[in-house]
Amino acid sequence: MLDLPAKDDGIAGAKLAIEDNNTTGRFLNQTFKLDVLNGDVDELIKGATEKVAAGDSFIIADLEPDALLKFADALAGKPAVIFNVGSPDTRLREEDCRANVLHIAPSHAMLADALAQYLVWKKWPNWLLVYGPRPEDKLLADSYRHAAKKFGGKIVEEREFKEPTGSRRADGGFEQVQQQIPTFMQGAKDHDVVLVADAGNLFADYFPYRTWIPRPVAGSAGLVASSWHPALELWGGTQFQHRFKRLNSRNMRPIDYDAWVATRVVGEAATRKQTSDFKVLSSFIHSPGFEVAAFKGVATSFRSWNGQLRQPIIVGTPKLLVSVSPQQGFLHQSSVLDTLGIDKPETKCKAYTQ
């Protein structure tokens, strides 16, 4: 019940950014508006095609990976840019990238790298990797394997978690879990951290405080990497959080933040170029000179090789910010932000090089 999304999940962040865009727009005779489309992917394609034909060229999409690809392909060649705020799937930035999609949501690779940097910085390099049976769990596990190799971590053992976690609503359901998790974890090789890869957040929350030996849990539960945290107070975050809460009577979630950034990208480009011309704005947003302030302490921008927004990543517990990655000591030849996620030399994305 604690994880039920709000009805305006993501939309609330975009609405706040519309207010912000219009605050600046009043001085430049610019007005921004937000229309919301719901439905299955075919309905969304039809509605978006009509909007684009009417001159609305910027789309914020909260879609599953396959739906996003179908949506992007249907709009290919049209004057439209799609901002992905709903899917962290790394392949959407790599082998399945699309030239008309920019990614605000951090990829699984970025999130895994952010967490791995912190664990290595803490000198907790030995990880027991637990992953779920679904294909997306295994893709997330791949991101942790890649991060371990990249930053000097070591996955000492891997275990696939297949078993049901019992009935949470039945009397005694917690007792089943209380016995099941430690039994599953029994006999593991010595490790510093249990790293759980559960892309759908179906079982990871059962692991903290139930492992066979006392070890911290990270990944999909316990210590988690994300684009935003409701406890962030740095870099003007307190004022930003309060404005969101006054408008929506709830805390800002990562998807709200991602949708806010996407909307602000359009507003920032329109302010800088003082035009609503799609070609001018799109070209500027994709250019090396584009930056947008995002309450992260540094200006954020898009990677030229796969359209991913480069940004610091929050590492925290459910109630507290613990750290922010990139961590000190992890260097890059051009931007330390590019230590998070897939770097240019290793990208598989072809759409952005054509």
- Number of CB atoms found within 10 A of residue 104's CB: 28
Give the pLDDT score at 150: 96
Whether the CB-CB separation of 308 and 283 falls below 8 Å is answered with: no
pLDDT per residue, tens digit, the chain (354 aa), is 777 888 999 999 999 999 999 999 999 999 999 999 999 999 999 999 999 999 999 999 999 999 999 999 999 999 999 999 999 999 999 999 999 999 999 999 999 999 999 999 999 999 999 999 999 999 999 999 999 999 999 999 999 998 665 555 555 556 678 889 999 999 999 999 999 999 999 999 999 999 999 999 999 999 999 999 999 999 999 999 999 999 999 999 999 999 999 999 999 999 999 999 999 999 999 999 999 999 999 999 999 999 999 999 999 999 999 999 999 999 898 899 999 999 999 999 999 875
In CATH terms, the fold of domain 109-225 is Rossmann fold (3.40.50)
Give the pLDDT score at 118: 98
Give the pLDDT score at 5: 83
- The tokens for 263 are 């909307």
Q: Answer yes or no: CATH 3.40.50.2300 is held by domain 11-106+229-311.
A: yes
Give the pLDDT score at 353: 72
Give the pLDDT score at 56: 95
Question: Is there a shared CATH topology between the 11-106+229-311 domain and the 109-225 domain?
Answer: yes
Kindly report each contact of residues 42-45 with a partner whose C-beta sits within 8 Å and lies 24 or more positions away, as own/partner.
44/71, 45/70, 45/71, 45/74, 45/75
Domain boundaries, the chain: 11-106+229-311, 109-225
